[in-house]
């Protein structure tokens, strides 16, 4: 009996497989990748990383409380006093408070990663992020004149809250041009992007950041706490722009402004500006944030670089199916 005639043979098996693949609904049987879900998992991973960083030996030393207290400097009294009070509380109950911090952040990451608890965890992450933005970051230096896109302004943790809003698991019932528009709509999502990146452009040219040695000094200070290849990159970058702080800040501000308006441009131009956003975010993360200080120890989070990359991916234009839905 030939192989073709035998239904269980290889030829018959291939024929049945080809027929099944061409049958109506076969394509639908293969689940499409949900871009928003992937971004949610990325956010969950960063929260989990924060929880791991929170149990470093430095976090159980007085240095952690002193670091928190330092964020009060230059802020209005109404902002600074609660920060100082909270830093004192941390120093007096260091082990308990820091363990609570780590547990909360791990719980947020796990909650976002698990679908049944996704909404609750995203809502809790917004509340937690706002609290940390005030008590742990001093509002990112926005009110004390020290904010810079190169040091994590407007505060890395506020980007967690923004991502939670944009990645909220609800759809408006209309086709979304990009993942960040699915929950809040394209107009609101673009406005949030515009405000964020224009604020970064503004911070880049404030007096404290356009001084001749401002940017090179910031990078050199980061390099002093690093070692190995990262320190070499940072020292070379600082030397490259030494004395050219004004020119560097203007170039940075122009790039950030272009990124801000990019989401309003046609699809091809929008993708180009989003690529620029990713490149700028990665350069900031490596050169001026030192990978968030993770390799040097004492980092509570990876800083703003990875979060800005995640945001850029959330705004990446998606291809629409023929019926107007996302593929």
Tell me the pLDDT tens digit for each residue of 218-260: 999 888 888 789 999 999 999 999 888 899 999 999 999 999 9
Cβ distance 86 to 94 under 8 Å?
Answer: no
Strands, E, within the chain: which ranges?
none
Contacts (Cβ under 8 Å, ≥6 apart) of 152: 137, 140, 289, 303, 304
User: SS3 string of 176-225?
Assistant: CCECCHHHHCHHHHHHHHHHHHHHHHHHHCCHHHHCCCHHHHHHHHHHHC
pLDDT value at residue 27: 39
Contacts (Cβ under 8 Å, ≥6 apart) of 185: 172
Task: DSSP letter for 167, please.
Answer: T
Closest CA to 304 of 167, 162, 166: 162
The helix or strand, by DSSP H or E, that contains position 55, with its residue range, turns out to be none
If one counts every other C-beta atom within 10 angstroms of the C-beta of residue 318, the result is: 17
- Indicate the pTM of the whole model: 0.86
Give 17's pLDDT tier (boundaries 50, 70, 90).
very low
- Helix, strand, coil percentages for the chain (3-state, nearest 5): 70, 0, 30
Give 201's pLDDT tier (boundaries 50, 70, 90).
very high
CA of 234: how far to CAs of 222, 242, 288, in Å? Answer: 8, 12, 7
Can you say whether residue 206 is alpha, beta or left, with left for phi > 0 and alpha for psi between -120 and 50 degrees?
Answer: beta
pLDDT value at residue 324: 44
Q: CA 263 to CA 317: how far, in whole Å? A: 9
Q: CA 246 to CA 30: how far, in whole Å? A: 54
Residue 72's SS3 state is coil
How many Cα atoms within 13 Å fall on the side-chain side of residue 46?
26
Would you say residue 325 has pLDDT above 60? no
Tell me the pLDDT tens digit for each residue of 56-106: 999 999 889 999 999 999 999 999 999 999 999 999 999 999 999 999 999
pLDDT value at residue 145: 85
pLDDT value at residue 33: 63
Tell me the pLDDT tens digit for each residue of 262-320: 999 999 999 999 999 999 999 999 999 999 989 887 889 999 999 999 999 999 998 65
Tell me the pLDDT tens digit for each residue of 113-171: 999 999 999 999 999 999 999 999 999 999 998 899 999 999 999 999 999 999 999 99
């Amino acid at each position: 009996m030939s192989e073709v005639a035998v239904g269980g043979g290889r030829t018959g098996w291939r024929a049945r497989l080809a027929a099944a693949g061409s049958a109506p609904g076969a394509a639908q049987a293969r689940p499409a990748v949900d871009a928003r879900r992937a971004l949610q998992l990325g956010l969950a991973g960063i929260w989990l990383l924060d929880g791991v960083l929170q149990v470093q030996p430095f976090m159980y030393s007085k240095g952690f409380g002193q670091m928190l207290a330092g964020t009060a400097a230059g802020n209005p009294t109404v902002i600074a006093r609660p920060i100082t009070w909270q830093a004192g509380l941390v120093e007096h109950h260091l082990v308990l408070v820091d363990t609570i911090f780590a547990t909360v952040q791990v719980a947020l990451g796990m909650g976002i990663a698990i679908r049944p608890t996704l909404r609750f965890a995203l809502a809790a992450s917004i509340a937690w992020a706002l609290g940390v933005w005030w008590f742990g970051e001093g509002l990112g230096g926005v009110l004390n004149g020290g904010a810079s896109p190169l040091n994590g302004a407007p505060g890395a943790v506020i980007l967690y809250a923004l991502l939670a809003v944009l990645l909220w698991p609800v759809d408006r019932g209309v086709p979304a041009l990009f993942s960040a528009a699915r929950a809040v709509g394209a107009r609101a999502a673009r406005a949030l992007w515009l405000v964020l990146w224009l604020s970064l452009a503004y911070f880049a040219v404030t007096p404290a950041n356009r001084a001749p040695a401002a940017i090179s000094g910031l990078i050199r200070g980061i390099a002093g706490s690093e070692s190995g290849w990262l320190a070499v990159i940072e020292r070379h970058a600082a030397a490259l722009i030494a004395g050219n702080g004004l020119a560097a800040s203007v170039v940075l501000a122009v790039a950030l402004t272009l990124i801000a308006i990019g989401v309003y441009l046609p699809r091809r131009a929008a993708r180009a500006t989003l690529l620029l956003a990713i490149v700028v975010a990665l350069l900031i993360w490596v050169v001026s944030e030192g990978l968030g200080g993770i390799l040097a120890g004492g980092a509570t989070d990876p800083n703003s670089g990875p979060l800005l990359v995640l945001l850029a991916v959330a705004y990446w234009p998606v291809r629409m199916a023929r019926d107007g839905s996302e593929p």
